[in-house]
Structures are given as C-alpha cells and as structure tokens.
A and B are shown apart, each in its own frame.
Chain A
Amino acid sequence: MSKADIQLILDTAMSFREVLERPIKKVPPLTGKTIANMFFENSTRTRFSFELAERRLSADVLGFQSSSTSVSKGETLKDTARNIEAMKVDMVVMRHSASGAPHYLSQVINANVINAGDGSHEHPTQALLDMYTIREKFGKLEGLHVGIVGDIAHSRVARSNIYGLKTMGAKISVCGPATLIPKEIEQLGVEVYHHIDDLLPQVDVLNVLRIQLERDAGRLFPSIREYHNYYGITRQRLDRAKRAVTIMHPGPINRDVEISADVADSEHSLILQQVLNGVAIRMAVLYLLATRN
C-alpha cells in the first residue's frame, strides 16, 4: 500500500468515527451488498469489529467460525469460497491460519477479499487501526519512534505494523528474546533490541504483542514467568525509563505475562481506544472497496 492509500483510509476512518457517536449508528452506503465473514481461525475482537462495521454501513452480513462449518467435513478452501460466492456474495472478509490464504482466494473468486489476519503473515486492518490511534494521539506518524515488543516471529500484527509505519515515515524498533525475532528482520528497516530497558527510554509508542501460547511460542523461551521478568511491561520498568511511553496492544491481553494489569489499565494505555478505532477503520476499508470502480 502506498502512503497516499494509507492516508486516504485513515482520513476516511476519521469521518466514520463521527457516525459511531450518533444516536443512530447506522448509515446506508452498503445497502444491498452482502458480505461473508469467513473466520477459519477463532477471533472475537476482529470478527465483531468487522461485523459491526458492516452492519453500521447497512450491508447484509453472514459469517462463520471454522468449528461450525463444512471445512470440518473436508471441503477445500476454494470450494467453500466458490459455494459462498455462488450465493451472490459481494465481499469476503477472511481470517485463516495459512499465510497467503486470502491472497490465493482473491485470485479464484470474483468477490473482493479482505484479509482479517493470515497466519503469521499480515493483519492489515490491525496495522491501520494502530496507525490511526497513534496519529489521533500525536497528530502525525512521521518521525515518531515506535517499539514493538514480544513474539515478532509469529506476529502478523508486527509485520503489518512495520510495513505501514515505515511507509508513513516512522522509525521502528523490535524487541524480544532472540528465539522470537526472525533472522534478517533488519532487512525490513527496523532496529533490533534484546533488552527492553534499552529500548523503552527511546520510544514514543510501545506496541506490546501477545505471547501466542497456541502457536508453540512456549517452546521458545524457558517459562512465562521468565518472559515476564525480562520483557513484561510493568509500572516499575516504565518509571525507570523516565518517559511517558504510550502503550498499545492488539489484544487479547495476557495480563501479567507481556503486560502488567496496572499498565494495561493506565492512562498511558490506548488499548480500548484501539478497539473503538478498529470499527471506524474497517468501515473505511469496506466503504472504499465497495465504492471503487
């Protein structure tokens, strides 16, 4: 995505934020459009956020989570999608555990496909809402220093944030144990830190990633407790850094693993603001895609 594309999405989302404050939070631009939310991997926040955005724009919405579908009966991704398309669906929002699955799907069906997170590859709308939230707080993205801490190797949020924020002119540093930082990540133009206390005094924003225990991250460091001791974002750590670092987290939070409860709930935390802005970002993406010819 180009800088101008990102700018357009962020600006459009800003206009949609107002709709979310109205007494009747519904506008008609996608009337008559049908959107299928295909979540082959569990999700609460992202799925609700997309579904809410779609309903706020007056689209007709259908959706599933993988546990309840014919996928569990052995149907291939392509067949599932083509059957859904045969029912005249205009757009597909898809989350999948395989990297590249949405891209593949977009080539075999005519409906627009939106990536709601694919494996450890990308999560574009999360990065957009993160950028929106940072811009809302600082008034700009250019020149800011954003740190990303945690399981960089398995994180689609990290990758999308790096691409987006770099494009917008921010400086990015990543931090985590060597086993969770991909080799040659410097190629993406980021700096690597292994000690969080070295990074904290330098950043404006810290994006704290969840330790994804379901993706086997548990094998890559000795224990949750040790991770918390070395990388957990705590009040003491932030006080020591002597800098008012803005804290973000894509959710869901493992309290007292990657972030301590008091930091997550502190005035420096934008975590719930991210959730609200996520609806506006998804409205903007859906709207721009539907009205483009």
Chain B
Amino acid sequence: MRKLRAKIIDGQGLERTLTRLAHEILEKNKGAANLVIVGIKTRGAMIAGRIARKIEEVEKAKVTIGSLDITLYRDDLLGRLDQPEFKGTDIIFNITGKDVILVDDVLFSGRTIRAALDELIDLGRPKTIQLAVLVDRGHRQLPIKADFVGKNVPTSLDESIRVHLMESDGEDEVLLMYPETPE
C-alpha cells in the first residue's frame, strides 16, 4: 500500500501548466508550422493530445498528433516478471524533417525516453526531437534532459508520482506517494 504525501498539482493547476507548456513550445519553435506532437502511451499520449489542442487554439491551425508504444524498445523487455502489453504505435505520418515534440507524463530514469528516441529514429529522421514532460522527478540514469518541464518535483527513490487524468481516471491531479512501511 502506498499513501498520499502531497497533492502536487490539482485540476486547475494542471490546466495552467499545460497552457504554459503549449506557449513555451510555440515560442521556442516560432509557431506550429513544422511541429508534430508525439505522446508516449498511455498518459503521455493523453497529455500530448491536450497540449496539441491548446496549440491549435492559439495558432488557429491543425497540429499533427501521434502516439508511441515503446514496449518493443524497452531495455528490460526480456526477463521481466509481468508481461508488458504491446498496444501499438500510432504514427501514420512521416516525421522526417519535422520538429517532434515528444511528450510524457513523468521523467524519471530516462530509460523510457531512450526507448522512444530509438523508436522515433527508426521511423524517420526528424529535424529536431524536443522533450516535454509534466513532472520531472529527478534520479536520471541516462544523460537525458527535458526541454519543457511542467513541474520539477524533488523526490526520494522510495516515493512515487501518480498522474491522474480526466481521460483515464476521471480526475486531473498529480500526487506524490510514499510506501506505508518504510523499506
């Protein structure tokens, strides 16, 4: 059992954070003309969809969205106890020459992002890949850094971050959890 330590972001806060991320992405890329937004399944893809809608509102133009299932590119795929479900990647457009905004919910070890980078590069040759995350909780194991960060949350290793989104959980919030019996 894990217990709640703190609510880091509430519903309204999440809206504001995503709005800011959308604006930062647009500012840095000078518009949305060459952008494609790619979310990592499952919650990264949902956040990607929301950021894309916000960008569309500001720019009054359609933004291309895709989603990645990085399961096949995991470095711990063989020899895990639980069998990871492969739900499939959904990128039906060419990413070559595009500025790809890669979106995930929580940045932790960096291994998921490594897998996503490898998969993206197998799909084409983007002009740039930029990383946007809702929460950066630290503890990187690979030299990976986000370009756009919703919130930096210093954590200890036994804590965990739970992201709840309307689409999957019926509520928008980010929670910091800790184990009931300290390990």
Residues of A within 8 A of B (CB): 12, 14-16, 18-19, 22-24, 26-29, 32-33, 57, 287-288, 290-293
Quick one: which of A22, A57, A288, A293 contacts B79, CB cutoff 8 A? A293
B69 interfacial contact with A, CB 8 Å:
yes
Chain B 69-98, CB-CB to A under 8 Å as 1, else 0, gives 101111001111101111111100000000
Whether the pair B84, A15 counts as a contact (CB closer than 8 A) is no
Contacts of A32 in B (CB 8 A): 78
- Chain B interface size band reads 20 to 34
Contacts of A33 in B (CB 8 A): 78
Contacts of A287 in B (CB 8 A): 72, 86
Whether the pair A18, B83 counts as a contact (CB closer than 8 A) is no
In the complex, A28 Cα to B118 Cα: how many Å? 10
Whether the pair A18, B122 counts as a contact (CB closer than 8 A) is no
For residue A25, give the distance in angstroms from its CB to the closest CB of chain B: 10
| Chain B interface SS verdict (over half) | loop
Whether the pair B86, A293 counts as a contact (CB closer than 8 A) is no
Known: A15-B69, A291-B84. 5 other contacts (CB 8 A): A22-B122, A29-B71, A290-B78, A292-B83, A293-B83
Residues of B within 8 A of A (CB): 69, 71-74, 77-81, 83-90, 118-119, 122-124
Whether the pair B84, A22 counts as a contact (CB closer than 8 A) is no
Whether the pair B88, A18 counts as a contact (CB closer than 8 A) is yes
Contacts of B74 in A (CB 8 A): 29
In the complex, A113 Cα to B76 Cα: how many Å? 23
In the complex, A23 Cα to B96 Cα: how many Å? 11
| Chain A interface SS verdict (over half) | loop
Contacts of B72 in A (CB 8 A): 27-29, 57, 287
**From B71, B84, B88, B119, residue with most partner A Cβ within 10 Å:** B88
In the complex, A217 Cα to B152 Cα: how many Å? 72
In the complex, A16 Cα to B71 Cα: how many Å? 12
Report the nearest A residue to B118, measured CB to CB: A28
Report the nearest A residue to B79, measured CB to CB: A293
In the complex, A19 Cα to B119 Cα: how many Å? 11
Given contacts A291-B80, A291-B83, A293-B83, contact A23 B123 (CB under 8 A): yes
Whether the pair A28, B79 counts as a contact (CB closer than 8 A) is no
Contacts of B77 in A (CB 8 A): 29, 291
Contacts of B85 in A (CB 8 A): 12
Whether the pair A27, B73 counts as a contact (CB closer than 8 A) is yes
